């Protein structure tokens, strides 16, 4: 009895797997209707994640570190300059995001999935900035 109680999660998983297998075998059309949106969402998540990983890989960590050190030194010397520099950096960032959003291709019915994702990503990024 102790073995069953200790490994109850395995029994539950096995029962769930059998029930789903029987359901898919008896109603394949309905199972496909339910699974299709999940698969499409998974493809979109994969495309977005691969783009995010690519951006992280190409990120210039040394430049970010140097900028952080510069901001820290500025904050120690004269704290009011930090906000001025931060406002300048945010303006540059906002301009960059806006340019990226304007350069995105127009959506057409025959546009591939990656193009749609890039457009939505740029649009969402541009609208997120003040």
Residues 89, 49 share a domain: no
Which residues are CB-contacts of 48 (< 8 A; sequence separation ≥ 6)?
117, 121
Is 126's pLDDT higher than 80? no
Indicate if the pLDDT at residue 7 is higher than 50.
Answer: yes
* Residues 97, 52 share a domain: no
SS3 track for 37-54: HHHHHHHHHHHHHHHHHH
**Higher confidence at residue 79 or residue 37?**
37
Q: Is residue 2 part of a domain?
A: yes
Residue 85 lies in a domain: yes
If asked whether residues 48 and 4 sit together in one domain, one would say: yes
The angle at the Cα of 100, spanning 94 to 103, to the nearest 5 degrees, equals 140
State yes or no: pLDDT of 29 exceeds 60: yes
Q: Are residues 52 and 8 in the same domain?
A: yes
37 occurs within a structural domain: yes
What integer is the mean pLDDT of 20-46? 94
Task: Look at residue 70 and tell me if it is in a domain.
Answer: no
For residue 104, the model assigns a pLDDT of: 62
**Do 5 and 52 share a domain, yes or no?**
yes
pLDDT tens for each residue of 71-124:
788 788 887 777 887 888 899 989 989 888 887 655 454 445 545 555 454 444
pLDDT tens sequence across 50-68: 988 998 888 888 988 998 8
* Judgement on whether residues 14 and 45 belong to the same structural domain of the protein: yes
Is residue 66 included in any domain, yes or no? no
Residue pair 111/105 in contact (Cβ under 8 Å)? The answer is yes
pLDDT for the residue numbered 109: 47
Look at residue 127 in the predicted model and tell me its pLDDT. Answer: 47
1 and 49 belong to one structural domain? yes
> Are 15 and 54 found together in one domain?
yes
Residue numbers of the domain that contains 96: 79-130
- The reported pTM is 0.40
Task: Report yes or no on 67 lying in a domain.
Answer: no
- Residues 38 and 88 both lie in one domain: no
The number of domains in the chain is: 2
CB contact set of 5 (below 8 Å; sequence gap of 6+) = none
């Amino acid at each position: 009895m102790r073995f069953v109680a200790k490994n109850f999660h395995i029994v539950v998983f096995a029962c769930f797997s059998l029930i789903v297998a029987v359901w898919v075998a008896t109603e394949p059309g309905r199972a496909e209707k339910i699974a299709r949106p999940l698969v499409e969402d998974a493809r979109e998540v994969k495309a977005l994640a691969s783009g995010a990983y690519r951006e992280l890989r190409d990120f210039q960590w040394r430049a970010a570190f140097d900028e952080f050190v510069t901001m820290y030194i500025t904050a120690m010397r004269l704290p009011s300059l930090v906000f001025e520099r931060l406002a300048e950096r945010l303006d540059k960032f906002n301009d960059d995001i806006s340019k990226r959003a304007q350069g995105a291709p127009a959506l057409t019915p025959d546009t591939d999935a990656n193009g749609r994702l890039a457009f939505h990503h740029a649009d969402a990024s541009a609208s997120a900035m003040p």
